[in-house]
Amino acid sequence: MNLLITGITTRSSIAYAVAEEAMKQGHQVVLSNPPGRQPSILERIARRLPAEPVDILGLDVTDPDQITAAAEAVADHWDHVDGLLHSIAYAPATALGGGFLDTSWEDAATAIHISGYSLKALAVGFRGLLAAAPDGAGIVSLTFDASRAWPVYDWMGSAKAVLENSTKYLARDLGGDGIRVNTVSAGPIKSLAGGSIPGFDRIADRWAESAPAGWDTTDATVVAGPALFLMSPAARAITGTTLHVDGGYHAMGAPITAG
C-alpha cells in the first residue's frame, strides 16, 4: 500500500508505531509534520524506522494551500494513495487542564480546527489520490473517546467529538469514491502529545485497572495493526466506525477490582 502518515512527533507516538509496522509489512510511506517543527527532528526520528520514507513533507493542516501542495508532492511519487493516517491534535494550554469554562473562543477554535476540522480538510485535499486507489482507500484518524467528559481534557475532548462525528459524514460523502473513513479510539499512551496535557497521568495511570485485557501506556504498537487493517482492502466494508483499541476499558461500567 501507498500510505501517508501524518503527525510523528517522537518514537513513542502512535503515528511512529503505525509507520514502523507499515514498513515492516513492505508498504511505502510518506511522512508529514507541521512546517513549524524543525525538519531535522522528524528526519532524525525517521532514520530509526526500518526503511526510508518515500518523502517527508511539511504540512500545516490549517492552510489549504499547503494541503494542495502536499497532495501535489505526493502525486509526484504515486498515482494513488491507499491509506491516510490523521494523527494530528493540538490545543492551546488554556484549553486544557481543567479551565473549560474560562477558555476563549479563539483558543477553543484553534483546538477544533487543528484537531477536528483538519480531518475533513485532508480528506478533501487528497480525495483525488485516494479515489484512484484500485482496491479502495482508507482514512484513519486517532481519537480519545469523546462520548464522555474526562478530567483535564476539556476542549480537546470537544475537538475529538467533532473528529468522531465528522468521520460519519465523511464516510457518507466519500463512500461513492471508494474511500472509507474510520477512527481508532486508543487508550492513553504516554507520548509527547499525552504528556503535554496537564494532569494526563490522572487518566493514564489507572487505565489498566479497568481494562479487562490490560493496558500498557508505553506501548503504542498495539494500535498499529488495527490502524493498518482499517486502511487495507481487508476492511473494505467498514466505514463510519469508531474502533476502540483500549484493552476493553470502554465496555466496562465500573472499575475492575480484585477479589
Residue-wise pLDDT tens digits, 47-87: 899 999 999 998 999 999 999 999 999 999 999 999 999 99
Can you tell me whether residue 58 is helix, strand or coil? strand
101 pLDDT above the threshold of 90 = yes
- Cell of residue 43, nine digits: 528526519
Cα–Cα distance for residue pair 65/118, rounded to 1 Å: 13
- Cell of residue 75, nine digits: 502525486
What is the band of 259 on the pLDDT scale with cuts at 50, 70, 90? very low
pLDDT score, position 144: 93
Higher-pLDDT residue of 217 and 204 is 217
Name the packing angle between helices 154-174 and 118-125 (round to 10°): 30
- Cell of residue 112, nine digits: 477544533
Q: How much of the chain, in percent, has pLDDT values that exceed 70?
A: 92
Instruction: Evaluate if pTM is beyond 0.85.
Output: yes
Topology of domain 2-251 in CATH is Rossmann fold (3.40.50)
* DSSP state, residue 188: P
Cα–Cα distance for residue pair 202/150, rounded to 1 Å: 10
Residue-wise pLDDT tens digits, 162-193: 999 999 999 999 999 999 999 999 999 886 56
- Which of 8-12, 56-60, 126-130, 135-139 is predicted with the least confidence, judged by mean pLDDT? 8-12
For residues 141-164, give the mean pLDDT. 94
Cα–Cα distance for residue pair 230/82, rounded to 1 Å: 11
For residues 117-141, give the mean pLDDT. 98
pLDDT score, position 10: 86
With CA atoms as reference, report the closest residue to 78 among 1, 20, 15, 178: 1
Phi, psi of 6 (to 5 degrees): -100, 155
Cα–Cα distance for residue pair 165/108, rounded to 1 Å: 17
In order, the DSSP letters of 108-167 are HHHHHIIIIIHHHHHHHHTHHHHHT-TT-EEEEEEE--TTS--TTTHHHHHHHHHHHHHH
Q: Where do the domains of the chain lie? A: 2-251
